Structure 1
Amino acid sequence: MKQQLTLRIRLESPTVGVDFGLQNGSGHNYDILQKQKSAAQDLCFECTVVAKLGADNQPDFTGPLVQGPPANRFVYINIGKSAGQFDSIWSRRLKVPLRGITAEIVYQTTANSAMLLETNVPGTGKDGGPTCGTVKPFNGWHIAMK
């Protein structure tokens, strides 16, 4: 059975003056959704993915925002030039893993239309620029209210 699951990604204290957006599609054939320029506050991105049970009874995620192989799915946040901000000095992408979302969490979240899954990720890296690569450490997803 397929379930639509709403995700909220909160990018904490992102590098100021940089565009961030969700990557919709893959390879060279993608567009940017919910593009936002960072200021002095966190940025939030909400999106919907489709969860279906895989052969191992664990959720597998699909949809135009979902990237990667079944055992290692993620959502990209594109940054700077990758998000269409061509005057930026940054051209990065941030992988937000979908790991740790169990079938039980999917069931609990989709059973109540007022709930979603949320994660908080750092928006600025050790170099002072936007965080990029796979989020580390990744604190996982938790159920939250819409």
Structure 2
Amino acid sequence: MEDSQGSKEKQELKLCFQSKRYGNKEKPPMEDRVKLAAIAISLNVRLRSSDMPVNMQEHALRCTRRLLDSAPEPRPSLTQLARAIKKEFDSVYGPAWQCVIGTSFGSYGTHSVGGFLYFSIDSLSILLFKTEVQLVNKKGFE
């Protein structure tokens, strides 16, 4: 009896996690995930973790590959690359995007639902995420 109860609780937790992760939607359709996987392979990208719609993931992968391919040799400035990706996402999807790029880094933070992507391309790891911005009124500081 306890095994079935434990199994039921695990299933409920899994459904709760999925509803939060995909913004109360089910997982993207299989055909979208297959298309994204094919794009990742063609761009030499490895998707690590994501809480982002497939079309935004595709945009990030293509944008990053385009920026890397157009960067001066032998190695692009990681700061300029991160800035360019952040500006691209700020302009297309609204403000408050953050981008971290490197060959080795740790991170721990909070992101807006549907605004997180971690992937590697060539030897670089890229963390792209959106934070929430709240306006501060002047009355609170007086």
Normalised-by-shorter TM-score class: under 0.3
Larger RCO (CA under 8 A, 6+ residues apart): 1
TM-score (norm 1): 0.27
Larger Rg over CA atoms: 2
TM-score (norm 2): 0.27
More strand per residue: 1 or 2?
1
More helix per residue: 1 or 2?
2
